[in-house]
Amino acid sequence: MDWLLHPLTLVTFLPLVGVLILLFLREEQKEIIRWVALGTSLATFIVSLVVLAQFQPSNPELQLVIRRVWIQVAGWDIAYHLGVDGLSILLVLLTTFLTPISILSTWTAIEERVKEFMIFFLLLEVGMVGVFLALDLFLFYIFWEFTLVPMYFLIGIWGGPRRMYAAIKFFLYTMAGSILMLLAILWLGIRGGTFSLPELIAQNNIPADVQIWLFLAFAAAFAIKVPMWPLHSWLPDAHVEAPTAGSVILAGVLLKMGTYGFLRFNLALFPQAAVQLAPIMAVLAVIGILYGAAVSFPQQDVKKLVAYSSVSHLGFVMLGLFALNPQGIQGSILQMVNHGISTGALFLIVGMIYERRHTRDMDAFGGLWKVMPVYGALTLIVALSSMGLPGLNGFVGEFTILLGAWEAGQSDGSLRSYLYAGFAAIGVILAAIYMLTMFQKLFLGPLDKEENRQLKDLNWREIVTLVPLVILIFWIGLYPKPFFSLMAPAVDKLVGNLALSVAALP
Amino acid sequence: MLFGETTTTGPTFFALAPLVLLFPLLGLLINLIWGGRLPEKAIGGIASGAVGLTFGVAILQMLSLFSHPEGTVIPLVDWITIGELNISWGIQVDTLSVTMMLVVSGVGCLIHIYAIAYMHDDVRLNGDPARYRRFFVFFNLFILAMMTLVSADNYLMLFVGWEGVGLCSYLLIGFWYDKGKDGIGNALAGNKAFITNRIGDFGFLLAAFTMFGLFGSFDFDQVFGQVEQVAELLPTGILLITIFMLIGVTGKSAQLPLYVWLPDAMAGPTPVSALIHAATMVTAGVYLITRSHPLYAVVPQAQSLVAWVGTLTALFAATIAIAQFDIKKVLAYSTISQLGFMVAAVGMGAYVPGMFHLVTHAFFKALLFLSSGSVIQGVERGLHEVEHHHKGKHSAGHHLDPQDMRNMGGLRERMPTTFWVYLIGALALAGIMPLAGFWSKDEILLKASYKDVRLYTLLSIAAFFTAFYMARQIILVFFGKPRSEAAAYASESPKLITIPLIILAVLSVFGGALNLPGIHAFGHWLEHTVHHVPGVKGGVELPEFSLQVAAISTGIALLAIILGWLIYARWGETLQKEKKPYVDPLELTAKPIFSVLTNKYWVDELYWALLVNPYKAFSRWLAEQVDWRFWHDWLHDAVLVNGFKRLTVLLAQPIDLGIIDGIANGLATLIQGGAAYLRRFQTGYVRNYALAVFFGVVAIMSYLIFVLR
C-alpha cells in the first residue's frame, strides 16, 4: 500500500477526501462546506509543497516515480504511473495554488447548491493534477477527459444566462479533439507494446512521416484546449458564462493542459515532426497573439476582453515552445505560470466588480479608483503584469520567449524566425492598448454613474485572494531565478533530444 | 571585468552605490504604508529627504570617481539565467552614469521640495486632498525607476528602468484622472503617452534581440568589448541595432515621429512636467545613445540618421511653440525642440556637448516649468480672490483658463520673484551669454558648423525661433497690462516654491561653468567613460571655442528677442487697446501660417486618421464580423451543428436507422434544446447525469480498445 501514501498519490487524490467529507454534510451547512473545501485544497497545496521539497531541481529526469499495473489487456499493461519533473512541477504547484484561491473567491458569490459546487471543484482539482503527473498515456487520457465533467457542470449549473450553450460547446469541442488523440494513443500503445510515456520516448523508432500524423492527432486535442487560433471560439463562451472561480481555473490551469500536452507529448514523442511542423505552429501562434490582442480591444464585456487576451497570451506560450530552444521553452513554461497568475487574478477582479454591480459592461463603470482605491491599485498591478511591464512577471516570460524565437532564427539561418519574433513583439504594443483601455474605462475618468458612488472597496477576504497572486507577480518579475532553475535541467534534456532528432532528419 | 581591479589611492564609496535605489524605495514604502496617518509636510518631507539622500550618495560617487575615474560595477543579483542567456544586475558607476544620477537626484530633490508646497494647493484646487500622498509615492517611484535606468550595467536592466519611468509618467500624467476634457482627457493623455512609448519600446526590444544574437550578451562591457570584431563580420547587424534603438529614443525622448505624446503629457501636475517631462525622463534617449556610443561609432549611417532626426525635431517643434497659447504647451514644444538639439549633438558624435546640454537644460527647463507652475497658481489665487471678494461682478471668471497666456499679462509686478527667475530661465534657453544654455548650445552649433552646414543652418534657425518664442512668452505673461481680473489679482508664491526656483536660477546662470571653453571640466570628466574605443573612430572631442559661431548664435538670439519685443510689446500693446479678446499679432498678419502652427501641423489629426481610427475600425470589424458573426456564430451554428445533423441524417438512411438516427436526433436536441436540459438540471439529477457522462466516456473507450484489439 505504499503507493497510497506516495506524495504524488496524495497530491492528486487528497481532494477526494474532502469530497468524501462533503458527502456527509447537509446542503444547509454552507459555512462548514466552504471551510472543508478550502481546508482540503489548502492541505493539497501543502502536500504539493512537500513534493517540491522532495524534488531535486538539478535532476533532469522524472522523479518520485510510482508505477503499479492497473489494467492488463491482452498483454499490454495500463499502469498507474505518476512522476514529476521540471516540465510539470510548476504546473502542479500552480494548480494546487490557484484552487484554494478560487474556492475563497466563491465565499459569497456561490450561494446555491454550495455542496455540489465544492464537490465538482475538488474533483476538478484531482483531474488537473492527474493530467500533469500522469506518465501512462491511457491514465493521462482518463484524467484529461475527466476534467471535462466537473467543468461542464460548473459552467452549466452556476454559469450565466447562456450557460447550457457554453457548457455543451465547451464539452463537445474539447471532446472532439480528444478523440483523435485517443486513437493516436491506442496506435502508440499497440505498436510499442506499452502505454508508458518514458518507455515510448526511449523506443524512439517512429518513422518521421508517421510522426507527422501522430503529432497532428495529439495536436488536435491540445490545440483546441490551448486554444490556438483558429480553434478558440469555444473560449469566450465558456469564460463569459462560467462562474468566477470556474473562469479562474479554466484560464489558470485548464488551458495550460493544452500547452503542457504539446510540451510533454508532442515535443518528446514526435521530435522530428515537431521540428518539421514548428514553422506552422509558430505562424499560428503569432496570428493568435495579434488576433487575440486586436479582438480584445473593442470588447464591451470585461470578461470577454480578458478571455480574448488569453488567446494572445497563449500564443506567446506556443511561440516559445516551438522555438525549440531553452530560452523559448523555459520562457513558455514560466509564461504558463504567469498567465495562470495574471489572468487568474484578472478573472477574480472581474468577479469582484460583478458581484457588486451585476454587470460587466465597461460602459457601466468609470472613475472607480476614487471609491475603490485598493481595488484600483491591485487591478493596475495585475493589468501591468498582464501587459508585460518589466519588473513584473509577464515581462520575464514574454521576453525570454521572444528572445528564444529570435534565437531560433539565429540557429536555422532563415529570416522566418526573426519575422515571428518581430510580429509577436507587436503584440506587446497591442497588449498595452487593450489593457490600458480596460483600466481607463473601469477606473479612470469621472465617477459619473450614480450606482457606482456607493461601491465598497475590497473586503479582507477579497484582498486575501488577490495578495498571494500579487506577491508572485513581483517575485517572478524581480527574481525569477528559482522558477527557472526548477525547470532548466529537464528543458535542456528535452532540447538535447530534439537536437539529436534534427540531426537524424534526412 | 573591465573595470574590476583598480589601484586604490584613498577611500572610495562605490560600495554605497546601491543606496541610490534603496533610498527612493524606502521613501515610497514608508509613505505607502504609513503615509495615511502622516500630515502633508511629513509625507513631502520623507519623499524629498529620500531623494536628498540619494543625491548625497550620488555626490559620494562623484567624489570617488575623482580619485578613481575608471569607475566600477557593483554586482547585485542574477536576474535571468537560461542557457547562454545570462542577465545579471549590477550598478554601473562611471562618470556618465553618475552625471545622470546627480542630475536626476539633484534636480529631483529641488522639484520634490517645490512639490511639497505646490501639491498642497493643487490637491485642494482639484478637490481631493487625499491624493497628496499618492503623488509623492509615484514621485519617489519615478526616482527609483530613473535611477534603475541610469545605473544599470546592461541593456535589459536599463530597459526595466526605461519602461518603469514610462509607467510613472503614465501614472502622473493621469494623476487627475477624472479631470481634463470631458473628465477623461487626462486619462487619455496618459494612455497616449504609454502606448506611444510602447511603440518606441518595440524598437528597443528588437534592438535587444539583435544585440543578443550578435554579441550573446546585454552587458555594456561585453557588448562594447566585441564591437570591433562584430563590426568587421556583420556591420549590418550593428546598423540594425542602432536604428532599432533610435526608434526607442524617438519614443522616450519625444522625437519625430513619436513626439506626439509629450505635449499631451502636460496634463500632469506642473512638478511632473518639470521633473519627468523636461529635466530627466525624456533625456533618457540622449543618455542611451551616449551610453551606446561604441555601437554608433562604427555605423556612420545611423549616426547621421540620428543627427537628422534630432535636427528636424528641433526645428519642427520650435515652430509649433511660437503659436501656442497655453503656457505649459509652449514649454513642452520647447522641450521637444531642445531634446532635438541634444539628439542631433549625440548623432554628430558630439557626446560631451550633448550631455552638457542635457545638464544645463535640466536646470533651466526645470526652472521654467516650475516657474510656470508658480505663475499658474498665482493666477489661480487671483481667480479665487476675484470669485470670493467680488462676487457677482464678474461671472466670466469661471471659464477662465489659468494656463492660457492670453489671460495673463503684467504679472511682473504681482509676482516679482517668479518674474526674475523666469526671465533667467528664458534667457538661458534663448542662449544668451553668459547663461548656461549659451555654452552648451554653442558647443552643439559649433560641432554642426564643421560637420554639416545643412544641420548647422537648420539648428540655427531653430535657435532663432527658440529665442523668439521665449521672448513672446515673457512678454505675454509678465509685461503689458493684466488681460484678466485673475491676472490683476494674482499673487506671489510661498517661500517653499520660490526658494527651489532661486536655486535653479543660480544653476541656470552658472551652469555653463561646468564646461567652459579651454577648461572643459565636464569634457575631461566624461572622457573617462565616453572615450575613444581602440581602433574605432569617433569618441570624445572637446570642441574649441569659435568666436564666429558664438557671435552668430548670439546675434541670432538677440535679433529674435528684439523682433519678439517689437511684435508683442510694441505692436501687441497697441492692438490690445482696440480689441478686448487678445489676438496674437502674428495671427492678424499671417493667419494661414499661424493657424498651421497653432494646430501643430495637424499631426495629431493625421495620426488619428492614419493609425488610431483604422486600428479601431479594424479591430471592431475583426471582433464583431470575423470573430463573432462569422467564426463564432455562422461557422459554429451553420457549418458544424447543421453539418453534423445533415451528415447524421445522410448516414442514417443506409445504415442502421434506429441507432444512428437516434444519436443524431439526440445530439440535435442536445444542442438546440438548452432550455429543456436546464429544467432537468434543476430537478436534481446532476449526480446521475455526471455518472452517465463518465460511464459514457469509459464505455466509448473500452469499446475502442476491444474493437482495436
CA distance B251 to B203: 9
Residue among B363, B251, B227, B358 nearest B299 (CA) = B227
Any B CB within 8 A of A410 CB: yes
**pLDDT band with cut points at 50, 70 and 90 for residue B666:** low
Q: pTM (2 decimals)? A: 0.91
CB-closest option in A186, A331, A445 to B184? A445
Any A CB within 8 A of B205 CB: yes
Phi, psi of A62 (to 5 degrees): -70, 140
- Cross-chain Cβ contact B694/A116 below 8 Å: no
What is the Rg, in whole angstroms, of the alpha carbon atoms belonging to chain B?
A: 31
CA distance B532 to B244: 24
User: What was the pLDDT predicted at B466?
Assistant: 95
Residue among B116, B109, B123 nearest B40 (CA) = B116
CA distance B54 to B20: 5
- Cross-chain Cβ contact A327/B195 below 8 Å: no
CB-closest option in A237, A367, A481 to B81? A481
**pLDDT band with cut points at 50, 70 and 90 for residue A500:** confident
**pLDDT band with cut points at 50, 70 and 90 for residue B4:** very low
Chain A nearest-CA distance from B383, in A, is: 24
**pLDDT band with cut points at 50, 70 and 90 for residue B696:** low
- Per-residue pLDDT of B144-154, as tens digits, reads 999 999 999 99
Residue among A145, A336, A354 nearest A241 (CA) = A354
DSSP sequence for B444-460: HHHHHHHH-HHHHHHHH
Q: Map residue B251 onto helix, strand or coil.
A: helix
Assess if residue B291 is contained within a domain.
Answer: no
**pLDDT band with cut points at 50, 70 and 90 for residue A179:** confident
Assess if residue B624 is contained within a domain.
Answer: yes
Any idea which residue has 450565466 for its cell?
Answer: A160
User: What was the pLDDT predicted at B542?
Assistant: 64
Any idea which residue has 508585460 for its cell?
Answer: A388
User: What was the pLDDT predicted at B6?
Assistant: 46
Any A CB within 8 A of B618 CB: yes
Any A CB within 8 A of B82 CB: yes
Assess if residue B609 is contained within a domain.
Answer: yes
- Per-residue pLDDT of B95-132, as tens digits, reads 999 999 999 999 999 999 999 999 998 998 888 888 99
CB-closest option in A162, A297, A447 to B619? A297
Residues A187-214 have a mean pLDDT of 89
Assess if residue B417 is contained within a domain.
Answer: no
CB-closest option in A116, A366, A402 to B686? A116
CA distance A423 to A6: 46
Residue, of A55 and A76, whose pLDDT is higher: A55
Evaluate if residue B142 carries a pLDDT over 90: yes
Phi/psi class of residue B180: alpha, beta or left (left: φ > 0; alpha: ψ in -120 to 50)? left
Cell of B665: 436526433
**pLDDT above 70 as % of chain B:** 86
**pLDDT band with cut points at 50, 70 and 90 for residue B536:** very low
**Which of A164-168, A334-338, A443-447 is modeled with the greatest confidence?**
A334-338
Assess if residue B638 is contained within a domain.
Answer: yes
CB-closest option in B191, B199, B697 to A429? B199
- Per-residue pLDDT of A113-154, as tens digits, reads 999 999 999 999 999 999 999 999 999 999 999 999 999 999
Residues A368-381 have a mean pLDDT of 94
Evaluate if residue B8 carries a pLDDT over 60: no
Based on the structure, what is the number of domains in chain B? Answer: 1
User: What was the pLDDT predicted at B1?
Assistant: 33
Any A CB within 8 A of B637 CB: no
Phi, psi of B691 (to 5 degrees): -60, -40
CA distance B540 to B524: 9
- Per-residue pLDDT of A228-261, as tens digits, reads 988 898 999 999 999 999 999 999 999 999 999 9
Assess if residue B670 is contained within a domain.
Answer: yes
CB-closest option in B78, B686, B709 to A74? B709
CB contacts < 8 Å between A and B, how many? 181
User: What was the pLDDT predicted at B539?
Assistant: 47
Evaluate if residue B540 carries a pLDDT over 70: no
**pLDDT band with cut points at 50, 70 and 90 for residue B695:** low
Q: Where are the alpha helices (DSSP H) in B126-266?
A: 131-151, 155-173, 185-215, 220-233, 235-252, 261-264
DSSP sequence for B257-301: TSTTHHHHGGGS-HHHHHIIIIISGGGHHHHHHHHTHHHHHT-HH
Phi, psi of A457 (to 5 degrees): -70, 175
User: What was the pLDDT predicted at B434?
Assistant: 87
Question: Which of A112, A382, A433 should we substitute to test contact with B (largest number of B Cβ atoms within 10 Å)?
Answer: A433
Residues B240-252 have a mean pLDDT of 95
CA angle, A439 as apex, A435 and A445 as ends, to 5°? 140
User: What was the pLDDT predicted at B84?
Assistant: 79
Residues A391-420 have a mean pLDDT of 86
Chain centroid to CA A275: 24
Count how many Cα atoms sit within 13 Å of the Cα of residue B701 in the half-sphere of its side chain. 21
Question: Which of A312, A420, A444 should we substitute to test contact with B (largest number of B Cβ atoms within 10 Å)?
Answer: A444
Evaluate if residue A215 carries a pLDDT over 90: yes
- Cross-chain Cβ contact A403/B212 below 8 Å: yes
End-to-end C-alpha distance for chain A, whole angstroms: 49
Produce one character per residue of B478-501: b if its CB has 16 or more CB atoms within 10 Å, e if not: bbbebbbbbbbbbebbeebbbebb
Cell of B392: 457677482
Domain span at residue B656 reads 604-680
Residues B627-634 have a mean pLDDT of 86
Average pLDDT taken over every residue of chain B: 86
Any B CB within 8 A of A85 CB: no
Assess if residue B432 is contained within a domain.
Answer: no
End-to-end C-alpha distance for chain B, whole angstroms: 66
Assess if residue B671 is contained within a domain.
Answer: yes
- Cross-chain Cβ contact A390/B205 below 8 Å: no
**pLDDT band with cut points at 50, 70 and 90 for residue B685:** very low
In chain A, positions 113-142, which contact chain B (CB-CB < 8 Å)? 116, 141-142
User: What was the pLDDT predicted at A76?
Assistant: 75
Nearest chain B residue to A388, by CA: B163
**pLDDT above 90 as % of chain A:** 75
CA distance B627 to B481: 62
Evaluate if residue B265 carries a pLDDT over 60: yes
